[in-house]
A and B are shown apart, each in its own frame.
Chain A
């Protein structure tokens, strides 16, 4: 039925809304809101699904990384504990070696002092020995001189009393000097 086929009258009538005249635009305008709502709904569902999938993937990834860090943390703790044990053992060994070294150094210092002292004692003894040899030579010369003087006295007729007295004084002076040198060597 079309608008042209509708009955008409002349009297007052209730206005009856007439159907709008069919046209292309009017038909589309009535159907479009339903299609658009469905589309957004589908789109929202798709986005929601994708968001769920994405969040699940993200959570899974973060969990995996978390597990890796936990495992590596444990590995590092084990390594740190092992290194700590090694450091403690090394420190203990080092302290022991240091103690040995200190003791050896102290012994070396004592040995050095001993060597130095012995070398000095030997040198001093050498000095004394040299001096004593000289004193002994002097005493021998003194004894020989006195023997010569005794020989001269035994033949006093051949010498003047003055020359004998001068010889005696000279020999006595020399022998006194030797005795002084002996005292100096012996008594310092």
Chain B
């Protein structure tokens, strides 16, 4: 009887061992495949960068649309310059463009003309504010901060009184105004500009105006009236000079 019991225990142990091995082996057996998803196509939203920029109209950027051509007649000469609107009836240009004008006309990028009713001149910087008869549709935004060295600055204007042109280059530094000997520093940057560009808006990469172009070496270096100077001029228009020109008869 004792031997039978031993056999039984042996068989039991063997079966238990087999069962144990079987259970242990089951964990390494391949499982059934997981069910497939209903769709393999992820839900991806279109990125905003792929959308058409809002500021392009008829192929013109906002800065291009904001740039205005200035035609000036003085008592003894004609001239051209550039300007930009700061609200729907006022535009900024250079003092040396507007000074002595007996007649001024602005032209937009699409050829729309605006007649200047009156103008005032900055007493201490190369800036002038023109008041037009009508409504300017494309208004520039002034930047909140000045440019930093290396920032790309863009000029939009009418070099030599010809077609609208855009040039850009890096901001170099604030330097003394050696041309007009004005008290404020001016911006120097590497971009081509020519006579006729005077009064052009100088914009940062966001398209916000940071200065007003007023001089260049006619090759690749340009100078602009700085943002603080422009803001001070606009904040103190009561101090500005009326731009009156009286021509003597030449008959």
Determine whether the beta carbon of B29 is less than 8 Å from that of A122: no
Q: Hey, which chain A residues are within 8 Å of B53, CB to CB?
A: none
Contact of A68 with B33 at beta-carbon distance under 8 Å, contacts A47-B18, A127-B80 already known = yes
Q: Hey, which chain B residues are within 8 Å of A36, CB to CB?
A: 3, 7
Q: Is A123 an interface residue (CB 8 A)?
A: yes
Q: B14, B22, B40, B251: which contacts A54 (Cβ < 8 A)?
A: B22
Q: Hey, which chain B residues are within 8 Å of A141, CB to CB?
A: 250-251
Contact of A54 with B18 at beta-carbon distance under 8 Å, contacts A43-B11, A119-B107 already known = yes
Complex CA gap A111/B22 in Å reads: 80
Q: How far is the CB of B38 from chain A (nearest CB, A)?
A: 11
Complex CA gap A138/B41 in Å reads: 78
Q: A35, A43, A76, A79: which contacts B10 (Cβ < 8 A)?
A: A43
Complex CA gap A39/B8 in Å reads: 8
Q: Is A51 an interface residue (CB 8 A)?
A: yes
How many A-B residue contacts, CB cutoff 8 Å? 110
Determine whether the beta carbon of A120 is less than 8 Å from that of B71: no
Q: Hey, which chain B residues are within 8 Å of A174, CB to CB?
A: 250-251
Complex CA gap A174/B10 in Å reads: 139
Determine whether the beta carbon of B78 is less than 8 Å from that of A131: yes
Q: Hey, which chain A residues are within 8 Å of B162, CB to CB?
A: 120, 124
Q: Is B245 an interface residue (CB 8 A)?
A: no
Determine whether the beta carbon of B7 is less than 8 Å from that of A126: no
Complex CA gap A122/B161 in Å reads: 12
Determine whether the beta carbon of A47 is less than 8 Å from that of B60: no
Report the count of interface residues on A (CB-CB < 8 A). 47
Contact of A47 with B14 at beta-carbon distance under 8 Å, contacts A108-B59, A123-B111 already known = yes
Q: A39, A40, A43, A65: which contacts B30 (Cβ < 8 A)?
A: A65
* B67-124 residues at the A interface, CB under 8 angstroms: 69, 71, 73, 78, 80, 103, 105, 107-111, 113
* B231-251 residues at the A interface, CB under 8 angstroms: 250-251
Q: Hey, which chain A residues are within 8 Å of B71, CB to CB?
A: 123, 126-127, 130
Contact of A39 with B164 at beta-carbon distance under 8 Å, contacts A62-B30, A115-B110, A145-B251 already known = no
Q: B14, B36, B108: which contacts A43 (Cβ < 8 A)?
A: B14
Complex CA gap A22/B107 in Å reads: 140
* B23-49 residues at the A interface, CB under 8 angstroms: 29-33, 36, 40-41
Q: How far is the CB of B113 from chain A (nearest CB, A)?
A: 7
Looking at chain A's contact residues, the main secondary structure is: helix
Determine whether the beta carbon of B107 is less than 8 Å from that of A126: yes
Q: B15, B22, B33: which contacts A47 (Cβ < 8 A)?
A: B15
Determine whether the beta carbon of A116 is less than 8 Å from that of B11: no
Q: B22, B31, B59, B111: which contacts A122 (Cβ < 8 A)?
A: B111
Q: Hey, which chain A residues are within 8 Å of B69, CB to CB?
A: 123
* B184-229 residues at the A interface, CB under 8 angstroms: none
Q: B10, B11, B36, B158: which contacts A75 (Cβ < 8 A)?
A: B36
Q: Is A165 an interface residue (CB 8 A)?
A: no
Complex CA gap A116/B18 in Å reads: 91
* B52-70 residues at the A interface, CB under 8 angstroms: 58-60, 69
Chain B interface residues (CB < 8 Å from chain A): 3-4, 7-8, 10-11, 14-15, 18, 22, 29-33, 36, 40-41, 58-60, 69, 71, 73, 78, 80, 103, 105, 107-111, 113, 158, 161-164, 250-251
A–B pairs, 10, beta carbons within 8 Å? A35-B4, A79-B40, A112-B59, A115-B110, A115-B111, A123-B111, A123-B161, A124-B162, A126-B71, A174-B251
Given contacts A43-B14, A126-B107, could you give 20 more A-B pairs where the C-beta distance is less than 8 Å?
Answer: A39-B4, A39-B8, A43-B10, A46-B11, A47-B11, A50-B15, A61-B29, A64-B32, A65-B29, A65-B32, A68-B33, A108-B58, A119-B110, A119-B164, A122-B111, A123-B111, A123-B161, A127-B71, A127-B161, A138-B250
